[in-house]
């Protein structure tokens, strides 16, 4: 069986509607979903995710980490720092602060070697489609981009579209002892 750990964006909680929608979309595939709240200290968040996800590695052959915005970035950092994930799901990845494309958050990306799904809006101020495609090309694993037409960083009213994209991608992964 596969597990999916989901983390929220900055100042959101594990009860964020987009995380719930993703859980509802992938659970019928036989995926165990664990939604986490992130610690207040951002500098400890990647370590926290790895610690919380570690017990899942004992029960599941495949663990996927993911989240939206800051939560996704934290998960990507945990994998870059050595957490043994099967894949990453990154919704509204914050490549840079809005209006500051020179302040990239990409130093860890070349250390990622697993399949990655990036689901982003075409009007996301944290990363244009061209910027995201350019900077994720350094990832060692296969990268899939799904663009939500007209979506901004919050992807408001797009939860079902995002969740459907995540479920289709997770189902397409051929993970060991994964989906039934």
Domain borders along the chain are 2-172
pTM above 0.85, yes or no: yes
Cα Rg, the chain, nearest whole Å? 15
Is 166 strand, coil or helix?
helix
Query: DSSP class of residue 122?
Result: T
Whole-number Å distance between alpha carbons of 155 and 70: 14
Q: What is the pLDDT of residue 180?
A: 41
Whole-number Å distance between alpha carbons of 178 and 107: 31
> Pseudo-torsion of CA 158, 160, 165, 168, nearest 10°?
180
Class of domain 2-172 as given by CATH: alpha beta
Query: DSSP class of residue 108?
Result: T
> Pseudo-torsion of CA 50, 51, 55, 56, nearest 10°?
-30
Q: What is the pLDDT of residue 176?
A: 62
Beta bridge partners of 139: none
Q: pLDDT tens for residues 71-117?
A: 999 999 999 999 999 999 999 999 999 999 999 999 999 999 999 99
Closest CA to 178 of 90, 112, 115: 115
Which positions of the chain have pLDDT values less than 70? Answer: 176-180
């Amino acid at each position: 069986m596969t597990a999916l750990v989901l983390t929220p964006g900055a100042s959101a909680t594990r009860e964020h509607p987009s995380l719930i929608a993703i859980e509802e979309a992938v659970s019928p595939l036989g995926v165990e979903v664990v939604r986490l709240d992130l610690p207040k200290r951002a500098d400890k968040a990647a370590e926290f995710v790895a610690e919380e996800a570690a017990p899942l590695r004992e029960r599941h052959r495949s663990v996927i980490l993911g989240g939206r915005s800051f939560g996704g970035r934290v998960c990507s950092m945990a994998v870059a720092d050595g957490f043994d994930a099967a894949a990453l799901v990154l919704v509204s990845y914050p490549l840079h602060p809005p209006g500051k494309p020179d302040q990239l958050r990409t130093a860890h990306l070349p250390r990622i070697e697993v399949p990655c799904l990036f689901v982003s809006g075409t009007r996301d101020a944290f990363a244009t489609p061209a910027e995201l495609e350019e900077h994720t090309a350094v990832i060692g694993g296969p990268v899939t981009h799904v663009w939500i037409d007209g979506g901004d960083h919050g992807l408001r009213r797009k939860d079902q579209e995002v969740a459907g994209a995540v479920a289709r991608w997770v189902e397409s992964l051929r993970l060991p002892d994964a989906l039934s």
